[in-house]
Amino acid sequence: MQYLPLTLKQTCHTFMKKYGLILCVYIVLFSCEQPTKLLFAEVDFTSNNDDLVTVNIPVATEGSVISEYINSEIHSQVISVLSFDDSDDENAETIEESIANFNNAFVNFQNDFPERAQEWEAQIDGDVMFQSEEIISIALSNYINTGGAHGILTIVILNFDAKTGSILTSGNLINNPSKLKAIAEPYFREALQDQNMTFNSKDFKLPRNIGYSDDGLVFVYNINETDPYSDGIIEFVIPYNKINSLLVFDSAI
């Protein structure tokens, strides 16, 4: 077996001692410049003997404060959708409890009005629309039918600061609302024309639900925002190259 000469060993040791530290510092700095995106998993929620409610939503899987903030906001939104009674808001602290309350309310309704045979239904589906190092946009599609002729469908977009997990309002996304409104109005008008509807331009407003997607900024008008212009949800997308200068957060993934 051959060994390195002592001088060569000393040279190698000195090199590693001097430059190994530099290499480690470089790796640490590089890692800091490349933050890891949060990971999400689809999770189904239910309760015992449940056949009325379906909840499938994204859940941040990392055990960080940011994940807790995001998951808490998503869960609160689901609980709110399933709670149509003031007492539910006080009692339901988890999604499972809110599902159980919904089922109990249906049983009570059946006992009070046995002649009404129509079953209730609740379906909530969530999806991560967009995720970057700056912003996360999550859409929740909520369908609720509590015995009426037709159920009610609403879409809620939740935007989060990816660095803190804090919830963002639509106003936090835009630095020039009036200019965005002028750009968005023709898109809204075109969406209404597809439904053979017209509207007065003086009544046009930006929707409560705006969020990022891979294709552009998404605008969603639920039914209560467009009456009497439409009997359905109005949705359209404006490409980023039309509005990038108006956005607070970078649209690059």
Q: What is the CA radius of gyration of the chain?
A: 26
**Cα–Cα distance for residue pair 156/141, rounded to 1 Å:** 7
Predicted pLDDT of residue 147: 79
Predicted pLDDT of residue 115: 81
Exposed/middle/buried for residue 166 (C-beta within 10 Å: 0-12, 13-18, 19+): middle
**Cα–Cα distance for residue pair 249/217, rounded to 1 Å:** 11
Longest dimension (CA), the chain: 98
At 89, the amino acid letter reads D
For the range 73-81, what are the long-range contacts, defined as Cβ-Cβ under 8 Å and sequence gap of 24 or more?
73/158, 73/160, 73/167, 74/126, 74/138, 74/140, 74/158, 77/140, 77/156, 77/158, 78/45, 78/124, 78/140, 81/122, 81/124, 81/140, 81/142, 81/144, 81/154, 81/156
**Cα–Cα distance for residue pair 229/247, rounded to 1 Å:** 28
At 196, the amino acid letter reads N
Read off φ and ψ for residue 126, nearest 5 degrees: -120, 155
**Cα–Cα distance for residue pair 45/96, rounded to 1 Å:** 7
H-helix segments, 34-125: 65-82, 86-91, 95-112
User: At a CB cut-off of 8 Å and minimum separation 6, what does 148 contact?
Assistant: none
Predicted pLDDT of residue 3: 37
**Cα–Cα distance for residue pair 158/97, rounded to 1 Å:** 22
Give the mean pLDDT per block of 10 residues along the chain (253 residues): 44 48 42 67 83 94 94 97 67 89 88 81 96 97 88 96 96 95 94 75 88 97 79 92 95 77
Predicted pLDDT of residue 225: 86
